[in-house]
Amino acid sequence: MITYIVTFLLTQPEKKYKSFFLALEKLGAVKVLPNGFFVRTDRNIEEMRVALIPYLNKADGLIVAAVSGEAAIRNSMCAPETLKKMLIKP
């Protein structure tokens, strides 16, 4: 399994992105910052991008990047135990 960080810039009011957040939830995403989620999955990076793009408009930004297993984090929105699980090296 690989852990990805998914960050984004939404250009419309957040309520217009309910489907986007549901897609993140289906992927098993854990919110770590207001616009940042960790996802631990067997999907490759292109499959991750393709799973999320349909829910964004052309002006929205999206970054999906693999996480190496180490991270420096401050004031995360999730529990430290959850972060540890997400950052376990394969």
Q: Which fold has domain 2-86?
A: Alpha-Beta Plaits (3.30.70)
Give the sign of the dihedral formed by CA 5, CA 10, CA 14, CA 19: negative
Domain boundaries, the chain: 2-86
Q: Is 71 exposed, middle or buried (0-12, 13-18, 19+ CB in 10 A)?
A: middle
pTM score, whole prediction? 0.82
Confidence of residue 68 (pLDDT cuts 50, 70, 90): confident
pLDDT at residue 82, as a whole number: 74
pLDDT tens, residue by residue, 8-20:
999 998 778 999 9
Distance of CA 77 to the CA centre of its chain: 13
Residue type, 44: N
Q: How far is residue 62's CA from residue 69's CA, in Å, rounded to a whole number?
A: 21
Q: pLDDT tens-digit profile of 20-49?
A: 999 999 999 999 888 999 999 999 999 999
Helix (H/G/I), strand (E/B), else coil: 10 = coil
